[in-house]
Structure 1
Amino acid sequence: MSPLIVGLLLAALLIVLALSVVAFVLWRRVWLRQKARKAAEAERQVQLAEHLRILAGSLLDGQLPLVEGAIRIKSLLEHYDPPLNQSERLQVFRELCEATAHIPTHEAWKALSRAERRQYEVLFSSLELQHKAAARSSARWLLEEGLATHR
């Protein structure tokens, strides 16, 4: 074999080796990023579950208004586990959200007149009387079974 061919084969071998090292390094970065993303998602799920436990417990203890608790629980459930959110056992949270979706929040609430706010507060009271038992039952189920099956 001529020295030129040997030199070209050696150069080709070095190029292939260098490209293999680069490919390995890049794939390793991709793998590490995927691993970090999965770990972050798992941590996010743990945090959402803990927030749901706190909200459900606060709703049961009467530390959180029923309508506000229902809205917060439903919103977190949408991110935590959409199929769990659609559970028949948690229907009351969806119903309360739908019943109050038209009510202004934050700055829009502050801009309402006293009479308008009072009308909405009457609606809140009516919804609480109508759904309190079901919401407490759903919150208890969520704590005892719903979140326990998703650990």
Structure 2
Amino acid sequence: MTPVAAGLLLVGALLIAALAGYALHLWRRVWRKERQQAVRQAEAQARQHADLAADLRILASSLLDEQVPLIEGAIRIKVLLDNYDTNLSQDPRCEVFQALYDATAQIPTHGAWKALDKTERRRHEAHFSALELQYKAAARRSARWLLDEALTPAAA
């Protein structure tokens, strides 16, 4: 091998080694950013979970203190439970929230409610009263259970 060929081979090998080192440096940056992003995502999910638990505690307390109408509170609790923990939302002790949600799913809300004639609104309100009589005790038991057992700070 001639000295020129050996020199070129050496320069090529050094160039390859430098590029490999730079590629490794870039990959390490990518891996570090991915780890940081995973940590940020986990922290955001933990914050969201804690926020949902706090919202559930407020709603359950409000339902027990009758600060929120039973049906509205039950529907809101059901929706939050679905986002908080699907296993908890399917727990038999929370079935009442799903039952009230299902029983009122077809009833118009917001602008559609306001657009109903008075007879139709009264019919729905009578349905609400019947549901409240039927499910009030169970909803209160479930709200109490959520506060006392399911949403304890250790579970949240």
**Normalising to structure 1: TM-score of the pair?**
0.97
Cα offsets for 1:79-108 (capped at 9, x unmatched): 000000000001111111111111001111
Match of 1:117 among 96, 121, 130: 121
Matches of 1:100 and 1:27, distance apart in 2: 49
Match of 1:58 among 59, 62, 70: 62
In structure 2, the partner of 1:150 is: 155
In structure 2, the partner of 1:39 is: 43
Structure 1 residue 150 displacement after superposition: 2.3
What is the DSSP-based 3-state SS (H/G/I as helix, E as strand, rest coil) of the residue aligned with 1:104?
coil
In structure 1, the partner of 2:132 is: 128
Cα offsets for 1:47-103 (capped at 9, x unmatched): 000000000000000001000000000000000000000000011111111111110
Pairwise CA RMSD: 1.0
What is the DSSP-based 3-state SS (H/G/I as helix, E as strand, rest coil) of the residue aligned with 1:35?
helix
Amino acid at match of 1:38: A
Amino acid at match of 1:132: K
Matches within 5 A, 1:60-139: 60-139=64-143
In structure 2, the partner of 1:5 is: 9
Identity percentage of aligned residues = 48
Matched, 1:14 2:7: no
What is the DSSP-based 3-state SS (H/G/I as helix, E as strand, rest coil) of the residue aligned with 1:59?
helix
Structure 1 residue 45 displacement after superposition: 0.2
Cα offsets for 1:111-146 (capped at 9, x unmatched): 101111111111111111111111000000000001
Matches of 1:150 and 1:115, distance apart in 2: 46
Moved beyond 6 Å, runs of 4+: none
Which is higher, the Rg of structure 1 or of structure 2? 2
What is the DSSP-based 3-state SS (H/G/I as helix, E as strand, rest coil) of the residue aligned with 1:150?
coil
Amino acid at match of 1:94: Q
